[in-house]
Amino acid sequence: MLDAAIHAIEDGRGEDARQIIASALDKHRNTIRELRDLSFALEPVVLRDQGFGPALRALAEQVGTANEMRIDLDIDVAEQLGETAQVALYTIIRELLDQSIRRGPPTRVEVKIARSPDGGVETSVADDAEPERRRRSFEAIEERVQMLHGEIDVGVGPASGTSVRVTLPPYTTQR
């Protein structure tokens, strides 16, 4: 693209060169914006800087506002988790919200994180969207959960939507 701009300048076509350079700059800015968005999606700065609670609240507010839905959070236990477990749970919850929106969209989603009886952590995400009938929809999330030596259970939610429960063992939650 820059070669084309140089040739346009050499040939006395200054306006063409300006358009080519402007186009290249726009593409450059868009690429930087997309990389920044991707980086935020992988691990948002607020998660690293302020912790799990503020990061998930920011995600819930953003997703809830954009999709005109209510997202209730009961996540205080998550602040006791290790950094790796927090990042993994954040990613899992974000993916479950995305799936719910693709199926529904729901009007309400409930996210709860609680200690399990063995000292691990149980995370549940329940929505009132159309129930998910395709087990394949959860394969990527299942892989994440298995990497943490956890278990995932998918069923019908209390409002006839989908309910997903992810249980992580105690030793995983400390990382």
Q: Is the pLDDT of residue 39 over 70?
A: no
pLDDT for res 93: 93
Q: Where are the domains of the chain?
A: 2-41, 52-173
- How many beta carbons lie within 10 A of that of residue 161, not counting itself? 22
CB environment 103-125: b (16+ within 10 A), e (fewer) = bbbbebbbbebeeeeeebbbbbb
Residues 109, 70 contacting (CB under 8 angstroms): yes
pLDDT for res 51: 85
pTM, rounded to two decimals = 0.73
Q: What is the C-alpha separation between 148 and 61, in angstroms, rounded?
A: 27
Q: Is the pLDDT of residue 47 over 90?
A: no
Of the ranges 12-21, 51-60, 153-162, which is most confident? 51-60
pLDDT for res 151: 94
Q: What is the C-alpha separation between 49 and 81, in angstroms, rounded?
A: 15
Residues, the chain? 175
Question: Hey, what CATH topology would domain 52-173 get?
Answer: Heat Shock Protein 90 (3.30.565)
Q: Is the pLDDT of residue 27 over 70?
A: yes
Q: What is the C-alpha separation between 136 and 151, in angstroms, rounded?
A: 16
What's the distance, CA 73 to chain centroid?
Answer: 15
